[in-house]
Amino acid sequence: MTQTNAEETPKPAVVPQIRLERKHPLAIRWMHWLNFPVLFTMIWSGVLIYWNDSDNAYRHPHSIYRIGIGPLTILRLFPDWFYQKLQVPYHVTQGLGYHFFFMWIFALNGIAYVLFLGLSGEWRFLIPERRSLRDAIQVTLVDLHLRKGLPEQTKYNGAQRIAYTSVILMGAGMLVTGLAIYKPTQMHWLTTLLGGYEMARWLHFWITMSFLGFFVVHVVQVVLAGWNNFRAMVSGKEIQSVSAPSLQQERRSWR
């Protein structure tokens, strides 16, 4: 009789196991996608309103519309050629109408989002933890290919927790400063609290610029993360690979 060497025994092929894991609730997905056209319309209408002030800002430079030191202007945002290239219509009244109408949709959607986070317990996955800043630095280094190995995470990593919480705070800031600009007389206490009408405009403008910066980074990160991540925000479920030991453990728990 010949004995077969254990090393020569053919090993069964390892078939990767996958499963659909619930990630985003329906309410989160609805409010997320509703924000996209609302914010786009608000930013576009804000550009129309902004153009109304650009001529005066050109003759009387204002800190809102430029980056500079004292009287020295380093960069003027959205100059006249920007509007000419995009053929932006000079419809200031229309811009004001759209802006103030969609402002209330943005506000109601934001309030509903915060309430849902609090009532459903989803805030536990979103609010930064003690280690979030450290994890965010590590995630950034991995994205820049300066380090390997992502930290452990639950639904969101440390960078996402900080970014998404910051977006909620920026949304609240946009709403508060917008109300101070919209009703400076009726809500004079709020305008005064923000440092006056001009300071409220300054804050509103640069919070909007921060929103645009986040949007660009967010889209890039979604593209880099791949289709699986995008699908999770559409269907609510994400494909996860499951190792054999963990799969067996899950099957035991199902029995």
236: left (phi over 0), alpha (psi -120 to 50) or beta: left
Global pTM value: 0.75
On the question of pLDDT at 60 being above 80, the answer is no
Say if residues 156 and 125 touch (Cβ distance below 8 Å): yes
Q: What is the pLDDT of residues 66-84, one digit of tens each?
A: 777 777 777 777 766 777 7
What is the helix, strand, coil percentage profile of the chain, to 5?
65, 10, 25
Band (pLDDT 50/70/90 cuts) for residue 12 is: low
Helix (H) or strand (E) holding 27: helix 26-59
On the question of pLDDT at 86 being above 90, the answer is no
pLDDT of res. 7: 53
Report how far apart, in Å, the C-alpha atoms of 228 and of each of 74, 180, 216, 224 are. 42, 41, 20, 11
- Percent of the chain, pLDDT > 90? 28
pLDDT of res. 249: 41
Q: What is the pLDDT of residues 211-246, one digit of tens each?
A: 889 999 888 888 887 888 888 888 888 877 665 444
pLDDT of res. 9: 57
SS3 185: coil
Say if residues 39 and 51 touch (Cβ distance below 8 Å): no
On the question of pLDDT at 48 being above 50, the answer is yes
On the question of pLDDT at 119 being above 90, the answer is yes
Report how far apart, in Å, the C-alpha atoms of 196 and of each of 30, 73, 122, 158, 174 are. 36, 23, 36, 36, 15
Say if residues 176 and 194 touch (Cβ distance below 8 Å): yes
SS3 67: strand
CA 23 to chain centre: 17
Neighbour-count burial of 135, counting CB atoms closer than 10 A to its CB (0-12 exposed, 13-18 middle, 19+ buried): buried
- Percent of the chain, pLDDT > 70? 78
Band (pLDDT 50/70/90 cuts) for residue 200 is: very high
Q: Rounded CA gap, 207 and 10, in Å?
A: 62
Q: Rounded CA gap, 134 and 162, in Å?
A: 11
pLDDT of res. 135: 86
Tell me the mean pLDDT in the region 188-206. Answer: 91
pLDDT of res. 251: 34
